[in-house]
Structure 1
Amino acid sequence: MSRFMKARVAAVDQLSSSVRRLTLVPADETSPFTPFSPGSHVVLGIPGEGRVCRNAYSLISSPDDPSHYCIAVRRQPVSRGGSEAIHSRVQVGDELELSPPANLFLPHWQARHHLMLAGGIGITPFLSYLPELESRGASWELHLRSQDLDVARFPEAAPYLASGNITQHRLERPNLKALLARQPAGTHVYLCGPQAMIDAVKEAARELHWSLARIHHEVFAAPEPGTPFTAVARGSGVEVAVGAQESMLEALERSGVEVKSLCRGGVCGQCRVEMLEGEAEHRDAFLDEQERASQRCVMPCVSRARSQRLVLDL
């Protein structure tokens, strides 16, 4: 049985030339949305050319009101189908597949101070943090670096703009080391944005002798293209050609093979499957070096094959 439900697009708002905000409500009013926690994401199924493209998006609406979900989607210059469809084809009244919320990025509530650093559309998970941080009386600050996306365009940010806790960096790059150096003891840092930004913050933290256990990050990046290959689900008796522009997970789903998944970005480990034959090209951030070298398991959401075929225990 599919874990996806149907959601109806109730509103579409253009926040910038490249960012759209969707408001989703249950297509079946007798089946309400699941409550969610700050930092949660959903997987949205968007019909494309001959397939359904499934991408993970952070929920930006308040966890206090699960009557609707809101997401914001940046139009990618090179789209595999999801962002392009949302910007060019999705309209009010359309019905889309929607997974229940999952959370891999929950705030550490015991932190003395919460420092959120976002690059562009990476602001999205933090918009659901703000209501809970405020209700708990927590100490927080949010920094957004973006030239074209104004934090004030998000209705979710409106109640907090006058707090003095939100800083937008447009052309200038924030001095990350100085920013970290002035944080009080017990601060936890949350990152969402380009990998270069995440790496730079981690490097600054190392130079200041911070424990990396206080640095948390989330990235939803589309899998990189690669050489086509064949994936075989031995238990299901399915053999599927994985195209250059699709992930192994998408190809398996297209062929009717159900694979558990959450992040679809190689970080959560939910889609891990055992390999019976072949050699994988590991692209995930979950397996350790020993597990990768053993060639006994693979993360089909992002990883591909070095061999012509991969036989999976599915």
Structure 2
Amino acid sequence: MTTLDLVVRSIDDSVPGVRSLTLAHADGAVLPSFTPGSHIVVECGAVANAYSLTGDSLQPTQYEISVLEQPDGAGGSRWIHALAVGDPVSVLPPRSAFAPILRARRHLLIAAGIGVTPMVSHLRSAKQWGREVDVMYLHKPGRGAHLGDIEALTDGARIFTQRSDFLGALPITLASQPFGAHLYVCGPSTFIDDVVAAAVEHGWPSSRIHFERFGVGALDPGEPFLVRLANSGSSIEVDSGVSLLEALEAHGHEVPNLCRQGVCGECRLTVSAGDVEHRDMYLTDADKAAGDAIMACVSRAAAGELELKL
């Protein structure tokens, strides 16, 4: 995949702990358009992380992202929080696994903390195309990101700074949506789990519930499984809490990789037999339905055994 070599045009640190960057070509050339809800993968020194795009999606001349500083993380956010205007930044082109469903009667956007970022581009799309939208956003006092954007893009947003108030309003909101509404959730893993559980309890079918998680820390350790390597005839046990990529590397197999979060596409391997539990945000729905590819850094066998063309 072609890398885009960009520069930092501007930096906004007005929200404590959150840095908003504007990235652009040095010559101001138009960047690839993207679907609302898309992310880019930013090469942050020795690591690579995915960050949601919050700006205009049609023929953009700049990409905008907002990054929460995580002092105990792998280093990507610290790298971004050390950037200065004019610094070079390399990114992979936009991809989306969290696009709005065009046929939805209403879009219910529920976010917590920095999980608001993909919702901003959803809101831009809804306003542009006149789609019905409802927003619930929970954040810590004084640490709400993109509040100005939300206010400018919709008058149907409810902002919460207390979890108890949010949880009190959530059941009523879920129960009052019209038939054909779709729910989109983004935020910390426990927040997503709580909202999805509440939606299921209120009768929402899984086909109308969409959520986005970034990072392997948001995934459960998974069940152990056996992987057979078709070319060599050997087999490897992949333990719970160990990725397929890590298991292959431990047995001397070199697999190209970059993000180790299921977003960049570098560690794609060909599956010749077995069912895959897809956990990535790179493969398309058609790719996943075909069943012949796996992102080794996050995805696993769905039924105890896989065979790879390796």
TM-score (norm 1): 0.72
Q: Secondary structure at the match of 2:119?
A: helix
Q: Secondary structure at the match of 1:128?
A: helix
Tell me whether 1:63 sits opposite 2:57 in the alignment: yes
Deviations 1:62-94 (A, max 9, x none): 11451000000001141101001111x211111
Q: Identity over aligned residues, as a percent?
A: 35
Shift of 1:119: 1.1
CA contact (8 A) 2:280 2:298 kept: no
Q: Distance in 1 between matches of 2:85 and 2:79?
A: 13
Shift of 1:247: 10
2:41 matched residue in structure 1: 43
Q: What pairs with 1:1-314 in structure 2 (closer than 5 Å)? A: 3-27=2-26, 29=28, 32-47=30-45, 52-64=46-58, 66-87=60-81, 89-148=82-141, 150-151=143-144, 153-154=146-147, 156-160=149-153, 163-173=154-164, 174=166, 175=168, 176-223=170-217, 248=245, 258=256, 265-266=261-262, 271-274=267-270, 284=279, 299-302=295-298
CA contact (8 A) 1:113 1:140 kept: yes
CA contact (8 A) 2:30 2:59 kept: no
Q: Secondary structure at the match of 2:5?
A: strand
Q: Name the CA shift for 1:267/1:25 in 2 (closer, same or farther; >3 Å).
A: closer
Q: Distance in 1 between matches of 2:99 and 2:192?
A: 17
CA contact (8 A) 2:15 2:145 kept: no
Deviations 1:191-237 (A, max 9, x none): 011121222222222222221110001111255899xxxxxx999xx
AA aligned to 2:25 is P
Q: Distance in 2 between matches of 1:166 and 1:139?
A: 12
Shift of 1:104: 0.9
Q: Distance in 1 between matches of 2:108 and 2:16?
A: 28
Shift of 1:149: 5.6
Deviations 1:251-287 (A, max 9, x none): 98xx99645x8x95348988442589xxxxx994799
Q: Secondary structure at the match of 1:132?
A: helix
Task: Give the number of aligned pairs.
Answer: 269
CA contact (8 A) 2:5 2:90 kept: yes
Q: Distance in 2 between matches of 1:303 and 1:153?
A: 32
Query: Bigger CA drift: 186-195 or 2-11?
Result: 2-11
Q: Distance in 2 between matches of 1:211 and 1:217?
A: 13
CA contact (8 A) 2:16 2:143 kept: no
Q: Distance in 2 between matches of 1:104 and 1:22?
A: 22
AA aligned to 2:8 is V
TM-score (norm 2): 0.73
Q: Distance in 1 between matches of 2:187 and 2:137?
A: 10
Q: Name the CA shift for 1:222/1:27 in 2 (closer, same or farther; >3 Å).
A: farther
Deviations 1:171-194 (A, max 9, x none): 133233222011111110000111
CA contact (8 A) 1:189 1:214 kept: yes
User: What RMSD over aligned residues (CA atoms) do the two structures have, in Å?
Assistant: 4.0
Q: Name the CA shift for 1:297/1:41 in 2 (closer, same or farther; >3 Å).
A: closer
CA contact (8 A) 2:113 2:144 kept: no
Shift of 1:150: 4.7
Q: Distance in 2 between matches of 1:312 and 1:91?
A: 44
Deviations 1:92-124 (A, max 9, x none): 111011111111111012111110000100000
Q: Name the CA shift for 1:199/1:223 in 2 (closer, same or farther; >3 Å).
A: closer
Q: Secondary structure at the match of 1:105?
A: coil
